[in-house]
Structure 1
Amino acid sequence: MRKFYYLFLLAIIAQCGVPEARRPIKVKTGSILKESVERNKALLKQEEEQIQKIIAADSNNTYLASGGGTWYHYISKNNESDYHPKPDDVVTMEYNIVSMENDTIYTKQEIGTITYNVDKQQLFPGLRNSVKLLKEGESATFLIPSSLAYGYHGDKNKIGTNVPIKTTITIIKIDKSQN
């Protein structure tokens, strides 16, 4: 019985230890955001390389950088006017959307002639910025990276996730703001 008592006492003493403190769970804040930024930078670099290849292969046109992340060339230019659309102007225009491989996504007929109140209506960023580069009667083709097109979400119809696009825009009329 005494052996049993010592064995029992030894088991109890062995179980008694210093309680170990619970450590907080380490949460890596910002790691998902950092990964997303790196992924988007890599995607933009890839799309810019694709755009530069298209520009290099198109020896018939002279491309201009917009300063806002797009590249464009004129189809028809209006040398008689020097007025570009300003905020609150109303622009009547037509445009189409094609892939970088020239596959038609939306025709001008599908989109139709639209009336756009400059900087007051929702258009994708590349189109909003491109409209302000053209004058009345001008037409140009723009190469737009996905970040300035429909981005991660696409248009939830024909344009998928992260798809760079080409769009040919024709400015039919500019109604100047009264301000």
Structure 2
Amino acid sequence: MRKIYYLFLLVLMAQCGVPEARKPVKVKSGSILKASVERNKALLEQEEELFRTIMAKDSSNTYHASGGGTWYHYIRKNEGSDYYPKPDDLVTLQYNVVSITNDTIYTSQEIGTVTYRVDKQQLFPGLRNGVKLLKEGESATFLIPSSLAYGYHGDKNKIGTNVPIKTTITILKINKSSN
């Protein structure tokens, strides 16, 4: 009887092994995400090539790379100041939105004068970055890729999906933050 008991115990212990992890029913390969990344890279390359063509044809202006994905040229410079907007500064500005083919989308009159707290309010990324590159009294035209403009969704009005834009930004006043 003892032998049967030990044999039963041995068989029971042999059945108790390390639990094996279950395999997922559906394996996600990430191919949709990879395809999206490749599509966005190709779109950005096309837009950058378009910008290079525009800059090459515009010999009257000197373009500067912003370091944030946009290019710009000055219309009016302020050599008398060295202060650029910092986070929390209150900036009064005007801007317009123009297509790459110079069709007006929004005039500065339509948009009006904007008071913007730097890095604290919602503007499209290219505009937020552009404001920080200009001093009070300066004006510049920016070439902005769609990813830094209104992106995939557009503005749900006049700007469609993945539309690169030009915008001319004029800084009227900078009120320095008290922080």
User: TM class, shorter-chain normalised?
Assistant: 0.7 to 0.9
By how many angstroms is 1:28 displaced? 3.7
**Other-structure match for 1:29:** 29
Instruction: Give the percent of matched residue pairs that are identical in Structure 1 and Structure 2.
Output: 81
Gaps of 5+ in 2: 1-22
The alignment status of 1:116 with 2:116, answered yes or no, reads yes
Q: Aligned letter for 2:46? A: Q
With the length of structure 1 as denominator, give the TM-score of the two structures: 0.86
- Tell me, in whole angstroms, the C-alpha distance in 2 between the residues paired with 1:146 and 1:114: 22
**Other-structure match for 2:89:** 89
**Other-structure match for 1:147:** 147
- Tell me, in whole angstroms, the C-alpha distance in 2 between the residues paired with 1:88 and 1:26: 48
**Other-structure match for 1:174:** 174
1:177 aligns to what SS in structure 2? coil
2:166 aligns to what SS in structure 1? strand
- Tell me, in whole angstroms, the C-alpha distance in 1 between the residues paired with 2:164 and 2:87: 26
Deviations 1:86-110 (A, max 9, x none): 0000000000000000000000000
Gaps of 5+ in 1: 1-22
Change (3 A) 1:171 1:25: same
1:135 aligns to what SS in structure 2? coil
Could you say which structure has the larger radius of gyration?
Answer: 1
- Tell me, in whole angstroms, the C-alpha distance in 2 between the residues paired with 1:24 and 1:62: 57
Q: Aligned letter for 1:52? A: R
**Other-structure match for 2:47:** 47
Q: Compute the RMSD of aligned alpha carbons.
A: 1.2
- Tell me, in whole angstroms, the C-alpha distance in 1 between the residues paired with 2:135 and 2:163: 27
- Tell me, in whole angstroms, the C-alpha distance in 2 between the residues paired with 1:27 and 1:159: 38
By how many angstroms is 1:24 displaced? 7.2
With the length of structure 2 as denominator, give the TM-score of the two structures: 0.86
The alignment status of 1:70 with 2:70, answered yes or no, reads yes
**Other-structure match for 1:161:** 161
